[in-house]
Amino acid sequence: MIAYIEPYFLDNESDASSVLTVTDAVSESLDIQGEILCGGAAADIAGKDFGGMNYVKPLAVVRPLGPEDIAGAVRAALSSDKLTVAARGNGHSINGQAMAEGGLVVDMRSTAENHFEVGFLAGGTAFVDVSGGALWENVLKRCVSEYGLAPRSWTDYLGLTVGGTLSNAGVSGQAFRYGPQTENVTELDVVTGNGDVVTCSEMENSELFFSVLGGLGQFGIITRARVLLQPAPDMVRWIRIVYTEFDEFTRDAEWLVSQKDESSFDYVEGFVFVNGDDPVNGWPTVPLHPDQYFDPTRLPQSSGSVLYCLELALHYRDSDSNSTVDKRVERLIGRLRFDEGLRFEVDLPYVDFLLRVKRSEEIAKVNGTWETPHPWLNLFVSKRDIGEFDQKVFKELVKNGVGGPMLVYPLLRSR
C-alpha cells in the first residue's frame, strides 16, 4: 500500500492528469475521510511558512476530519522508509518545521471546530476543551462573548493554533504570573508517532503529556487541549514608559514580575528600540495612539544608540471608576524610574488589547511586509548575563534595529 505512493515522492513537476493520479493514489493508500490535496494546491498551502526562508513541495496536504485521519497519516509515514509527515497549524513556524518535502502535511485548521466545551474541575476552576487546530483568537472571542471567561496565559499574536503554541511554549506578558501556555493545560488528546490516539495528563500517561508540551511536535500531534480559564476583565489600561539606562529598565521590570498578584500589573513586557526617528525601528514605534508624540527633547544628553520601553497593562471592570484605576496605576508607576515625559497610555477593551497585533497584521498585509521573510529568534538569557547581552547585542550588533520588534522582558524560573 505504501509502495504504491512512494514513486510519486520526488516527482512534483506534474501535469493535471498526473496530479489526479497522485491524489487518487494517496487517497486510496491513506484511506482517510477528510480531503487530500496534491500538486500545486498542496504547495500553495504548505510549500512555505511564516519564516519565509524555505520553500519545499509536499507530496500532499491532508485536511483531516478528526484524530483518526491524523493517525492514518502518521501510520503511513511510520510504515515507509521515505515518507515524512508534519502537522501544520496556521503556518507560523520560522524555519520549515511545519513543512514536509515530498511528504504529508496535516492541515490542522480543518479540525478547528471539533471541540469547544466549557467545564469545571473538581476545585471549581473553569476550563475549556478546544481543538488543537483552533485559532487562539477564536477561542478568546467565544470564551469571552459566551461565558465571560478567558484563558490565563497568551502569546502576543493570536492568529496561531492551540496545538502550535502548546508544542512550543506560548510566552507573553502574562507568563510571569501564570507561566507560559504550556503551564495552563491539564489534559491533552494526542496522536503519537505510532499512530495511536491517546489521552494524557499529569496523572495519566504523564511522560507523554510533558513530552508533547513544548516538544516541537516531535512526540505527538495535539488534537484536543483542556485549557484553564479565569473571569475575563472588561477593560485594560495599556501603558508604555521609556528608559535610557538598561540597568534601570531591567531593575524595574524584575521588581514588577516579583510582586504578588494584586501588587503588580497584569501584563509586563518590554522592548528595545533605536534612538532615532526611523519609523520602523525608532521613536515612532512607541506611542500607542496617533495623537501621541514621542518628544526626543525629553531624553537626557547621555542617552545612547538604543532606548528601552517597558510595556504594562492593568485589567479592570466597567464598574471601576476612573479614579480607582488611576490610583492603582499611580501606586505602581510611582515606584519606577523611567524618563519623565515619555509615558504613553490608552484604555481599550480587553479583547481589543489581546488582539492588538492583529491590527499590525492587517497593515502589514496591505503594504506587503507580511509576506517578507521573518528570521525570528527567541532566547532565554539568565539574569546574570542579560547586562552583557545588552552591551554586545543591543548596543553593538543591532544598534540600528532589525526591521522589526526586539522584545526583552523577565520571566520567573518558578513559573
What is the average per-residue pLDDT within 121-139?
Answer: 97
pLDDT digits (tens, 9 = 90+) for 267-311: 999 999 999 999 999 999 999 999 999 999 999 999 999 999 999
**Residue 92 designated active-site:** yes
Radius of gyration of the chain (CA): 23
Select the more confidently predicted residue: 120 or 30.
120
pLDDT tier at 3, thresholds 50, 70, 90: very low
Helix, coil or strand: residue 289: coil
pLDDT digits (tens, 9 = 90+) for 189-244: 999 999 999 999 999 999 999 999 999 999 999 999 999 999 999 999 999 999 99
pLDDT at 342 over 80: yes
pLDDT digits (tens, 9 = 90+) for 367-383: 888 888 988 889 999 99
Confidence at residue 2, expressed as pLDDT on a 0 to 100 scale = 37
Q: What is the dihedral of CA 382, 388, 392, 398, to 10 degrees?
A: 50
- For residue 61, the cross-strand partners are 37, 105
What is the average per-residue pLDDT within 86-108?
Answer: 95
Select the more confidently predicted residue: 61 or 11.
61
pLDDT at 10 over 90: no
**Contact residues for 117 (Cβ-Cβ < 8 A; gap 6+):** 128, 129
**Residue 187 designated active-site:** no
The single residue of 269, 311, 339, 390 carrying the catalytic annotation is 269
Q: What is the dihedral of CA 373, 377, 378, 380, to 10 degrees?
A: -170
What count of other Cβ atoms lies within 10 Å of the Cβ of residue 33? 11
Distance CA 233, CA 144 (A): 9
**Residue 115 designated active-site:** no
Confidence at residue 8, expressed as pLDDT on a 0 to 100 scale = 46
pLDDT tier at 263, thresholds 50, 70, 90: confident
Query: Does the model's pTM come out above 0.85?
Result: yes
pLDDT digits (tens, 9 = 90+) for 145-190: 999 999 999 999 999 999 999 999 999 999 999 999 999 999 999 9
% pLDDT > 70, the chain: 94
Confidence at residue 25, expressed as pLDDT on a 0 to 100 scale = 66
Distance CA 343, CA 205 (A): 49
DSSP string computed for 104-125:
EEEEGGGGTTS-EEEEE-TTS-
- If you average pLDDT over every residue of the chain, what do you get? 93
Confidence at residue 100, expressed as pLDDT on a 0 to 100 scale = 95
The single residue of 68, 129, 156, 345 carrying the catalytic annotation is 156
- For the packed helices 67-78 and 16-30, what is the interaxial angle rounded to 10 degrees? 100
The single residue of 49, 69, 92, 189 carrying the catalytic annotation is 92
